[in-house]
Amino acid sequence: MIERLQKLIAQAGLCSRRKAEELIAAGRVTVNGTAVTELGSKADSERDHIKVDGKRLHLTDEKVYLLLNKPKGYLCTLSDPQGRPTVTDLLHGVSHRVFPVGRLDYSSEGLLLLTNDGEFANAVASAGEHCPKTYLAKVRGVPSPDTLKRLAGGISIDGQRLAPCKIAIIKDADNPWLSITLIEGKNNQIRKTFDRIGHSVAKLKRVQIGFLRDPHLKSGAFRKLTLEEVRRFKALRPAKPRKDGLRNLASDFGSPNRKMDLSNRSPLELQSS
């Protein structure tokens, strides 16, 4: 069956459709020995020889959906030239090739989805209100309420204006814990944002992806998503752009320095150290 190349690559579980487009544009994909760089190019998975970085593409019918509690010290990639540990090293007993949905940096921890379903990955990773991601961050020093309000409204980092986010203090201390909910995920967004205001992040942990939380999943452990969880993720649809833009979300999120109820926080999510 003839399909767009990026769709075939995603269906093979190599990466998300968006990442597949980047591979094509970079000239890393060949069809019958010829490099293809034009997005939208098509191929027949049954007749054509499709290779990515010189390796033959093999489609698989069985889809795998995993939730991992990533520890610090692991890369969200399939391999590392420097030989550092990757998240796939933690997937003992998983025979299918899966890839991370989005990223957590080397020093961050928390919930991470892995799959071989490119369409699923694209729906979850795409920016928007349909699938917000929530993090707990321990920062150095106490940001002022006005500063947190400004961050919640969205600031510019690396020349890009960030969408509004939700920020709440959940534990007062000399180095407080904050809850931060994002509707987009720029590279190292939270760390860069708090570096900008002089309150660098000491610890960062993702605790929720869309509707999904699992405070009892131990660090380094993983599990399969349930059929209902997969169904709910697949049902996610990015919202249509609003006429007044995303910027009004800051007011929807409420006061950025409002304390939150910690009664439903697991010790695995929030530590005092």
Q: Mind listing the pLDDT tens digit for each residue in 5-15? A: 998 888 787 78
Lowest mean pLDDT among 16-30, 109-123, 252-266: 252-266
Predicted pLDDT at 93? 92
> pLDDT by residue (tens digit) across 165-174?
999 999 999 9
What fold does the segment set 2-56 form as a domain?
3.10.290
Mean pLDDT across 37-52: 90
Q: Backbone phi, then psi, for 32, in 5-degree steps?
A: 55, 40
**One-letter amino acid of 245:** G
With 70 as the cut, is the pLDDT of residue 160 above it?
yes
Predicted pLDDT at 109? 98
Mean pLDDT across 203-226: 97
Q: Any idea where the domains of the chain sit in the sequence?
A: 2-56
Of the pLDDT bands very low, low, confident and very high (cuts 50, 70, 90), residue 238 is confident
Neighbours of 264 (CB within 10 A): 9
- What's 200's DSSP letter? -
Mean pLDDT across 125-153: 93
Mean pLDDT estimate for the chain: 86
Q: How far is CA 149 from the centre of its chain?
A: 24
Q: Which class for 242: exposed (0-12), middle (13-18), buried (19 or more C-beta within 10 A)?
A: exposed
What tokens were used for 153?
């409204």
Nearest to 201 by CA among 168, 170, 225, 177: 177
Predicted pLDDT at 242? 54
**One-letter amino acid of 184:** E
Of residues 263 and 58, the one with the higher pLDDT is: 58
Predicted pLDDT at 241? 55
**One-letter amino acid of 76:** C
Predicted pLDDT at 157? 87
Of the pLDDT bands very low, low, confident and very high (cuts 50, 70, 90), residue 59 is confident
HSE at residue 270, side-chain half, CA atoms within 13 A, is 19
The pTM for the full model equals: 0.74
Which are the catalytic amino acids?
A: 105
Place of tokens 């075939």: 8
Mean pLDDT across 180-205: 93
Q: Give the whole-number percent of the chain exceeding pLDDT 90.
A: 60
Measuring CA to CA, how many Å separate 208 from each of 136, 144, 233? 10, 26, 13
Nearest to 65 by CA among 231, 206, 219, 238: 231
Q: How far is CA 14 from the centre of its chain?
A: 16
Please check whether residue 20 is in contact with residue 6, taking contact to mean a CB–CB distance below 8 angstroms.
Answer: yes
**One-letter amino acid of 224:** K
Of the pLDDT bands very low, low, confident and very high (cuts 50, 70, 90), residue 211 is very high
Mean pLDDT across 179-202: 93
Lowest mean pLDDT among 76-90, 112-126, 234-248: 234-248
Predicted pLDDT at 150? 94
Q: Backbone phi, then psi, for 175, in 5-degree steps?
A: -125, 85
Rounded CA-CA distance 183/126 in Å is: 9
Element of type H or E holding 269: none
With 80 as the cut, is the pLDDT of residue 249 above it?
no
With 70 as the cut, is the pLDDT of residue 272 above it?
no
